[in-house]
């Protein structure tokens, strides 16, 4: 559902103490995402907002959050989940400024830092929790934090949360949240996995888009990168490492390019196969069967060989070679975003092709934005984020009483290895192998409804998964002494929560 209007005077209707906080930030007029989102969010309904990074969305959800806080209640009343500690800090700083004159206490919680300051902050009774899912779950599981009074939940950069592998953590956080709550989702893109997240947490959400040309979540996002012809293969590698597609088809103009790109990707460890006109029908069908079954991530093909391909679950379409015509571009990008789902179309454009590429945008009446080619540092940062998420998730599965034996005793070994070049290379090899073996879930599937709450109305006992891992009785949790969790009534959204 689209918003009826935007309100350029939305700041005027805010309480005076919030207006003072906004003035401290130097905000005079609301940005478009704030003008369209603040009023609907303050009405209490669930919301999906599609807006780019840097569009002012922190204020769009931060202002309604601060407005709803009961400062007399020293307990978390709002939760904002973010994909990275940097974003969590940024959000925390802005929400703190907005709520300064109202006395709203905001606490950032994320991994990779000491527990002390976070425990001190929890002891003070924060009103708003902003953080990454892993460390938040750590505090919830140990009983150091409760979400019993949370009435607002925001997923910021939801597409990034899912691309980094936080879906299992978010599902578990859901079991700690009250059934009666408002949930809002902010994301730059709306791939199917984000929509599945929305279905799992939101009820009859209103949809607001600040992305030009996007009127509903089921859209294809188009962008291109300018690169030299000589660097196209390495540009492709960088994009695949940063984007980490669930599945993709890579288009080339010639059979020679198909063979070259396939060999290049395989040599760099990517799960890729090819279909081109010189392959037998049996070989082509075998490759098609593998990618449809989810057993193959990357298919490299010519436009001719790709005719008749019907794969509804492709997350990305990548044009390695420039399309011969505007019509070919439409056919290529139409391979994603099928069956009501969304997708991403990426084009690698060399200097010689840029004129024709701009012309095809005019002919097809679409605007394709340019993005810079990811740097090696961008890739390393992204890999480190994914690695940290997976390690944090696995450590959290180990009971406290077992961590000294299963984790801590290896710290001296790691320190010794890290002291020499050969040892550091061995550690790098272990990280590479670990990431290869622990790929994130390829899709976000909706779950069957959860069991109804017990007659007592309290938290249900732990799941069989937790009990089996601890080997203990009702009083033993995964983290040792963990209290039972309350589960929501309905995995796919449940009943109306108002």
Please check the confidence at residue 197 and state whether its pLDDT lies above 90: no
Q: Where in the chain do CATH 3.40.50.300 domains reside?
A: 10-217, 220-376
What is the per-residue pLDDT for 421?
A: 94
Q: Residue 104: left if φ>0, alpha if ψ -120 to 50, beta else—which one?
A: beta
Please check the confidence at residue 469 and state whether its pLDDT lies above 70: no
Please check the confidence at residue 298 and state whether its pLDDT lies above 80: yes
Lowest mean pLDDT among 57-66, 367-376, 413-422: 367-376
- Beta carbons of 297 and 248 less than 8 angstroms apart: yes
What is the per-residue pLDDT for 286?
A: 79
- Beta carbons of 111 and 85 less than 8 angstroms apart: yes
Q: Provide the H-helix boundaries in 367-463.
A: 376-396, 400-406, 411-418, 421-437
pLDDT per position as a tens digit, 278-296: 777 777 777 777 877 778 8
Question: Topology of 10-217 in CATH?
Answer: Rossmann fold (3.40.50)
- The span from the CA of 270 to the CA of 298, in Å, is 8
Closest-CA residue to 378 (of 239, 188, 189, 230): 239
Average confidence (pLDDT) over 42-62: 89
What is the per-residue pLDDT for 472?
A: 37
- Beta carbons of 292 and 247 less than 8 angstroms apart: no
Please check the confidence at residue 418 and state whether its pLDDT lies above 70: yes
User: Which class does domain 220-376 fall in?
Assistant: alpha beta
Q: Which residue has the higher pLDDT, 43 or 112?
A: 43
DSSP per-residue string spanning 93-142: HHHHHHTGGGT--EEEE-SSS-HHHHHHHHHT--SEEEE-HHHHHHHHHT
Whole-number mean pLDDT of the chain? 81
Q: Provide the H-helix boundaries in 293-343.
A: 326-333
- The span from the CA of 192 to the CA of 313, in Å, is 9
Show the tokens assigned to 349: 């454009």
pLDDT per position as a tens digit, 348-360: 999 888 888 888 8
Phi, psi of 430 (to 5 degrees): -65, -45
400-408 own/partner pairs: CB under 8 Å, 24+ apart: 400/479, 400/480, 401/480
Measured at the alpha carbon of residue 161, what is the angle toward residues 109 and 42, in degrees to the nearest 5?
A: 75
Please check the confidence at residue 81 and state whether its pLDDT lies above 50: yes
Confidence of residue 44 (pLDDT cuts 50, 70, 90): very high
Spatial CB neighbours of 281, under 8 Å, sequence gap ≥ 6: none
Average confidence (pLDDT) over 403-413: 91
Please check the confidence at residue 454 and state whether its pLDDT lies above 80: no
Please check the confidence at residue 106 and state whether its pLDDT lies above 60: yes
Confidence of residue 150 (pLDDT cuts 50, 70, 90): very high
């Amino acid at each position: 559902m689209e918003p009826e209007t935007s309100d350029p005077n939305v700041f005027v209707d805010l309480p005076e103490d919030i207006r003072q906080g906004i003035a401290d930030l130097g905000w005079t007029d609301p940005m478009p995402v704030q003008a369209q989102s603040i009023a609907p969010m303050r009405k209490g309904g669930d919301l999906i907002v599609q807006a780019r990074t840097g569009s002012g969305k922190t204020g769009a959800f931060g202002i309604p959050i601060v407005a709803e806080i009961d400062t007399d209640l020293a307990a978390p009343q709002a939760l904002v989940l973010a994909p990275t500690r940097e974003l969590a800090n940024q959000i925390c700083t802005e929400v703190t400024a907005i709520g300064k004159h109202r006395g709203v206490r905001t606490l950032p919680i994320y991994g990779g830092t000491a527990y002390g300051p976070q425990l001190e902050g929890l002891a003070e009774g924060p009103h708003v929790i902003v953080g990454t899912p892993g460390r938040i779950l750590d505090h919830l599981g140990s009983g150091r934090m409760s979400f019993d009074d949370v009435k607002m939940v925001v997923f910021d950069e939801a597409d990034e949360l899912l691309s980094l592998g936080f879906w299992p953590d978010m599902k578990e956080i859901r079991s700690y949240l009250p059934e009666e709550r408002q949930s809002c989702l902010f994301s730059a893109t709306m791939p199917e996995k984000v929509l599945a997240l929305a279905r799992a947490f939101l009820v009859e959400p209103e949809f607001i888009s600040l992305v030009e040309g996007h009127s509903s979540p089921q859209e294809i996002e188009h962008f291109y990168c300018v690169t030299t012809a000589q660097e196209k293969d390495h540009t492709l590698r960088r994009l695949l490492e940063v984007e980490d597609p669930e599945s993709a088809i890579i288009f080339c103009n010639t059979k020679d390019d198909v063979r070259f790109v396939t060999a290049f990707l395989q040599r760099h460890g990517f799960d890729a196969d090819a279909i081109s006109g010189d392959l037998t029908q049996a070989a082509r069908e075998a490759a098609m069967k593998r990618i449809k079954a989810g057993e193959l991530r990357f298919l490299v093909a010519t436009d001719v060989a790709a005719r008749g391909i019907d794969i509804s679950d492709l997350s990305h379409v990548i044009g390695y070679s420039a399309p011969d015509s505007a019509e070919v571009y439409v056919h290529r990008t139409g391979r994603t975003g099928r069956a009501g789902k969304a997708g991403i179309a990426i084009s690698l454009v060399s200097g010689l092709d840029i004129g024709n590429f701009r012309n095809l945008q005019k002919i097809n009446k679409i605007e394709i934005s340019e993005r810079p080619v990811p740097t090696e540092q961008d890739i390393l940062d992204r890999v480190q984020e994914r690695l940290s998420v997976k390690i944090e998730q696995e450590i959290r599965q180990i009971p406290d009483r077992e961590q000294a034996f299963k984790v801590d005793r290896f710290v001296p070994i790691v320190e010794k290895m890290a002291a020499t070049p050969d040892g550091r290379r061995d550690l790098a090899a272990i990280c590479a192998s670990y990431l290869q073996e622990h790929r994130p879930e390829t899709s976000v599937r909706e779950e069957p409804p959860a069991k109804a709450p017990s007659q007592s109305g309290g938290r249900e006992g732990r799941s069989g998964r937790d009990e089996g891992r601890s080997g203990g009785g009702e009083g033993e949790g995964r983290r040792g002494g963990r209290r039972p969790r309350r589960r929501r009534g309905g995995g796919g959204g449940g009943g109306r929560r108002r």
